Structure 1
Amino acid sequence: MKTILVAGGAGEVGEGIVKQLLSRGHRVLVQSRSADKIDSLKQRLGNPENLHLVVGEIGSESQIADLKEAVKSSGFELDSVVASIGSWWSGPKLIDLDLTTFNDVMAERLTTHFLVAKAFLSDLQDRPGSSYVFIHGASGFIPIPNSGPVSIAGAAQVMLKNVFVKELEGKQVRINLLSMMSSIATRSHPNADTEALTSTDVGDYVGVLVERAEISGQTIKFTHRREIPS
């Protein structure tokens, strides 16, 4: 059993990750800024004893410090962190976009990833068997019109992961980025296509990344369910 923090674990994709990590026998701590969301998540999953909830923001260094203190207070030492962070955004073309909106999207989809990774990798770097997983989407590789800041932040997130990998080379922690290159079917947004990726597919492969010591420093892309190793 590993102890895993899922940042953004009460979101659509995060829920599938949490569910599958629990099913694989791990202890899961879920961070969300919404108490209602994580209470609902716990009820939907049947109040499992290995699920622990942490309410808090992660948009600033002080908020991250509070989150780390809450994790410490739980009495568990983390083995892994999964960052499933950032909501979708669409709006004006870049040429018409105001700076405030651009900065807001970048803060949510890039700066927050930096803050969470910086804070927890500092603890995980010397822990044997530890891992960190960035959850990512196609927008970082494919320019999405009218969602320009999302694509820009996504591309930068890949490089963020790459730099952490290089700078922590030789350390214990394994760092990987898992990118879903198509839309993901979730509890509230199902997809009739049997080949479509689901949030539980994402969760199962996150479990693989957490458990398998040979996978390290990778950017892994999946478009269809058939591509995911069994």
Structure 2
Amino acid sequence: MKQFLILGGTGDVGSGVIAALLDAGHGVLAASRGGPKAEALQNRHAGRSFQLIEGSVHDEAAAATLLQGVRARVDRVDGVLAGLSGAWPQGKTLVEWSSADLLAIVHDNLITHFVAAKTFVPIVIDGGIYIGVGGAMADRIFPHYSYNSMIQSAQRTMFRYLDHEMENHRIAIRELIIGAMVTTEHKAKGDDPKYNWITDREVGEHIRAMLENPADFPGPIEHLFSARGVGRSRPVDPASVRAVA
């Protein structure tokens, strides 16, 4: 039985990955900041090979404490999924942001990924994989989403560097860009024709395939557009990116 660590286990992506991994017979450690969603997740998977650890990757100190909690249960893991995301507010042009507010949202949606990677990459076994989840707005321009595009562009570059700088490439470093809206049992699919939709379980099955067979997803940046792509590698070609009005 393989053992996987899920950071952001109560999120839409994390919860789908947990279910897919448990159904496939793997062990799962999930990190969460606690609260009603964490309690519901614990109850949902009671009696299975599932452990919930309270903690965060808000900064290095918090991540170090979380790492201690993980190592109290397992010494190494076969893979890590970082499904981390803060709030994504709307309604401002770029110059309407204050530098302090912009810095805070960059921290919650980018720096947390940096902290998570530097903390938990070392506990992945040789041949394993570390996956961060990102969005598809890095090369697109939408009104009032400047901060989102900026963060996702920086995140994509960060994962390319993490993969490039991994000594001897002993593990795979991947970013999965989800180019679709994710639905759950509590969040119904909308009727806006501009958006693709994919379920949390379909995303979970795709990430399960990446965690189980890293060599099948050469990356370093993988893209999931729709349910048709579940389980298949689709690396992002830097030459193919474009901006849209």
Per the normalisation by structure 2, the TM-score is 0.86
The more displaced of 128-137 and 169-178 is 169-178
Contact 1:12-1:187 at 8 Å conserved across structures: no
Residue number in structure 2 paired with 1:14: 14
* Shift of residue 10, structure 1, vs aligned partner: 0.7
Q: Aligned pair in 2 of structure 1 residues 148, 67: CA closer, same or farther (>3 Å)?
A: same
Q: State the Cα deviation string for residues 134-178 of structure 1 (Å, max 9, x = none).
A: 111122332332122222111111111100111015232111111
Q: State the Cα deviation string for residues 178-223 of structure 1 (Å, max 9, x = none).
A: 1111211122112278x73111111101111111141244312122
Letter of the structure 1 residue corresponding to residue 156 of structure 2:
V
- Mapped to 1, the partners of 2:73 and 2:18 lie a distance apart of 17
Q: Aligned pair in 2 of structure 1 residues 48, 149: CA closer, same or farther (>3 Å)?
A: farther
Residue number in structure 1 paired with 2:40: 40
Residue number in structure 2 paired with 1:87: 86
SS at match of 1:79: strand
- Mapped to 2, the partners of 1:143 and 1:55 lie a distance apart of 37
Residue number in structure 1 paired with 2:104: 104
Residue number in structure 2 paired with 1:223: 225
- Mapped to 1, the partners of 2:210 and 2:146 lie a distance apart of 30
- Mapped to 1, the partners of 2:179 and 2:105 lie a distance apart of 20
Is structure 2 residue 75 aligned with structure 1 residue 73? no
Residue number in structure 1 paired with 2:174: 176
Letter of the structure 2 residue corresponding to residue 146 of structure 1:
H
Residue number in structure 1 paired with 2:235: none
- Mapped to 2, the partners of 1:5 and 1:46 lie a distance apart of 15
Higher strand share: 2
- Mapped to 2, the partners of 1:169 and 1:93 lie a distance apart of 41
* Root-mean-square deviation over aligned CA pairs: 1.8
Residue number in structure 1 paired with 2:30: 30
Letter of the structure 2 residue corresponding to residue 102 of structure 1:
L
How many residues get paired?
A: 226
Identity percentage of aligned residues: 25
Contact 1:83-1:135 at 8 Å conserved across structures: yes
Letter of the structure 2 residue corresponding to residue 80 of structure 1:
G
The list of structure 1 runs, each at least 4 consecutive aligned residues, that deviate by more than 3 angstroms after superposition, is: none
Contact 1:132-1:175 at 8 Å conserved across structures: yes
Contact 2:76-2:123 at 8 Å conserved across structures: no
Letter of the structure 2 residue corresponding to residue 90 of structure 1:
P
Is structure 2 residue 41 aligned with structure 1 residue 50? no
- Mapped to 2, the partners of 1:192 and 1:172 lie a distance apart of 42
- Mapped to 2, the partners of 1:162 and 1:169 lie a distance apart of 14
Residue number in structure 2 paired with 1:210: 211
Contact 2:12-2:182 at 8 Å conserved across structures: no
Per the normalisation by structure 1, the TM-score is 0.91
